[in-house]
């Protein structure tokens, strides 16, 4: 059975490995009883979710729109909000709305940086191919064309 093209994507294994390591560190920091050094809790939440989002965005080889949507759901909703609700059920941790705010701020700042970098990367590819900078319409066409190019490269039934 063949999956629809929008469900076919590549996983960047090295980026996934980095994300898993960061997730383990974040889990330890999030559920450890107390750190040996004094740390601003909100700054720690901001930094952790900034880096988790920064790396997660690049785990899957997706278009900019799909990567943004997936990152918002996974890092923004499940990670930022979900982790605080889990802490509400633990005896050593407490639920804090301001922790959620710090998580979301880190997530959104990182996501904005990723979106801008991804856009610049697509513009560079477009400039190398066509010799001029692209408009917003060209950007969508370029993403669709790149998706088709990778689909054709990965298609084992393609005649060469």
Q: Is the pLDDT of residue 150 over 60?
A: no
**pTM for the predicted model, two decimal places:** 0.75
- Average pLDDT of the segment spanning 53-74: 93
In the block, tokens 């930094």 appear at 47
What's the pLDDT tens digit per position in 11-21? Answer: 999 999 999 99
- Average pLDDT of the segment spanning 72-81: 92
What's the pLDDT tens digit per position in 94-121? Answer: 788 999 999 999 999 999 999 999 999 9
Phi, psi angles (nearest 5°) of residue 65: -65, -45
- Average pLDDT of the segment spanning 71-93: 86
Q: Across-strand partners of 60? A: 11
């Amino acid at each position: 059975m063949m999956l629809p093209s929008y469900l076919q994507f590549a996983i960047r294994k090295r980026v996934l490995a980095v994300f898993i390591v960061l997730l383990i560190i974040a889990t330890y920091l999030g559920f450890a009883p107390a750190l040996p050094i004094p740390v601003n809790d909100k700054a720690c939440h901001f930094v952790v979710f900034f880096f988790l989002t920064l790396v997660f965005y690049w785990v899957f080889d997706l278009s900019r729109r799909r990567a943004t949507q997936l990152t918002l759901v996974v890092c923004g909703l499940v990670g930022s909000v979900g982790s605080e609700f889990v802490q509400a059920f633990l005896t050593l941790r407490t639920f804090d709305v301001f922790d959620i705010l710090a998580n979301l701020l880190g997530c959104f700042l990182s996501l904005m940086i990723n979106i801008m970098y991804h856009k610049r990367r697509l513009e560079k590819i477009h400039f190398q191919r066509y010799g001029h900078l692209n408009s917003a319409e060209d950007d969508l066409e370029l993403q669709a064309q790149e998706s088709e190019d990778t689909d054709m490269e990965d298609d084992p039934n393609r005649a060469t």
